[in-house]
Amino acid sequence: MSTVLQEERSAVRQTETMRALVFRGPNQIGIERVPIPKPGVGEAVIRITLTTICGTDVHILKGEYKVQPGLVIGHEPVGVIHELGEGVTGYRVGDRVLVGAITPCGQCIDCLSGHWSQCGGPIGGWRFGNTINGAQADYLLVPHAQANLAKIPDELSDEQVVLLADIASTGISAAESADLRIGDTAAVFAQGPIGLCATAGARLKGASLIIGVESDPVRAAMAKRMGADVVLNFNECDVVAEIRRLTGGRGVDVAIEALGTQATFENALRVLKAGGTLSSLGVYSGKLAIPVEPFAAGLGDHKIVTTLCPGGKERMRRLLELVLHKKLDLTPLLTHRFKLEKITDAYKLFAEHRDGVMKVAIEP
Ligand SMILES: [Zn+2]
Ligand SMILES: [Zn+2]
């Protein structure tokens, strides 16, 4: 191809635009036309075929979690490789891929220490819709593509895998970070999408008794479907006393906090046996206080662990295998479906918890 032709072509390409959900300030989001990204060295661009909205996106929309105005938000991408940058090997344009919400570089000190989510520093692995443009768009630029493109087995649909990018990876990690052993008892505080996946994770890890805590009847029913043996409504009973009773007075081996409030954190501590592990997934604001009595004045051998969504293509591959071999089915959580064009309606429904919504599928 002649240089002139090449230049003409790239000039045309530069004007190519796509639809994207752009954050302009608190409660100001909308679909805008923005340029389709071009991959640089080590990067890829994927055409999004399915994505979803996360509770974190709602925090961004409300201005509770700060991002730069002008940013495209969303961090749960399933798509098809549209263009590969230089240096990305083993992939072809057209490959179907899942990309985790967290995109580690795989090369920095934090990554090489096994803390992929903390790539380059605290929370550094979370880039999409946080520090770089995100997935609620027609196309998405994937940084560190070699470490982050997970090929989707042909047998699996987009719907079966989209929730692996974030909530499943995060939720399941609670039991993993707690080193939950076969036969352990577990309590999971809050059964929103992440709590439901935490419940599924406790079941996958082999918990003997899983106690969910949730007041919403739709979510309580879903908790049973995902693996909870008992679901306690905190409006109807003394949850701490009831969990103590259900565990023969001992308390649970693992208490998972999946909401991010002082009350749930504290109750998770109160139901823990001596030597037990509090595994925290919630995002807290303000101050978090530890009451000394259930903490045995600091002498109870308790562990408190936290986890940000594990990402990277190897994490995604393992989760894909779980779905492929029918150990994990997240499709019941995809309760509603919207076109990208109507995504602000989807945000409304999701933020207001209307119509029994769990997660919304967003398609182009
Ligand atoms: Zn998220
Ligand atoms: Zn890194």
* Residues less than 5 Å from ion ligand 2, measured at CB: 104-105, 108, 111, 119
Separation between Cα atoms, residue 222 and residue 326, nearest integer Å = 18
pLDDT at 55: 93
Residue range 305-349, pLDDT digits in tens: 999 999 999 999 999 999 999 999 999 999 999 999 999 999 999
Q: Please, are residues 161 and 190 in contact by the beta-carbon 8 Å criterion? A: no
Residue range 287-303, pLDDT digits in tens: 999 999 999 999 999 99
Report the sign of the C-alpha dihedral through residues 253, 256, 257, 259, in that order.
Answer: negative
Which of the ligands is closest to the CA of residue 125?
2
Number of Cβ within a 10 Å radius of residue 168: 27
Task: At 114, give phi and psi (nearest 5°).
Answer: 90, 5
Ordered DSSP codes for 100-163? -SB---S-SHHHHTT-GGGTTSTTTTB-BTTTB--SSBSEEEETTHHHH-EEPPTTS-HHHHGG
pLDDT at 279: 98
Which of the ligands is closest to the CA of residue 148?
2
pLDDT at 220: 97
106 CA to middle of ligand 2, Å? 5
266 CA to middle of ligand 1, Å? 24
346 CA to middle of ligand 2, Å? 33
Tell me which residues of the chain have a pLDDT lower than 70.
1-14
42 CA to middle of ligand 2, Å? 14
pLDDT at 286: 87
Spacing of C-alpha 66 from chain mean position: 18
166 CA to middle of ligand 1, Å? 5
Separation between Cα atoms, residue 162 and residue 138, nearest integer Å = 15
pLDDT at 1: 45
118 CA to middle of ligand 2, Å? 7
DSSP H or E stretch at residue 78? strand 78-84
Which of the ligands is closest to the CA of residue 110?
2
* Residues less than 5 Å from ion ligand 1, measured at CB: 54, 56, 166
44 CA to middle of ligand 1, Å? 21
Which of the ligands is closest to the CA of residue 114?
2
pLDDT at 13: 52
Give 358's contacts (C-beta < 8 A, 6+ positions apart): 193, 196, 219, 222, 332, 333, 334, 335
pLDDT at 285: 85
108 CA to middle of ligand 2, Å? 4
Q: Please, are residues 298 and 323 in contact by the beta-carbon 8 Å criterion? A: no
Q: Which residues of 181-209 are buried (b: 16+ CB within 10 A; e: fewer)?
A: eeebbbbbbbbbbbbbbbbbbbbbbebeb
318 CA to middle of ligand 2, Å? 20
pLDDT at 10: 54
Separation between Cα atoms, residue 39 and residue 141, nearest integer Å = 7
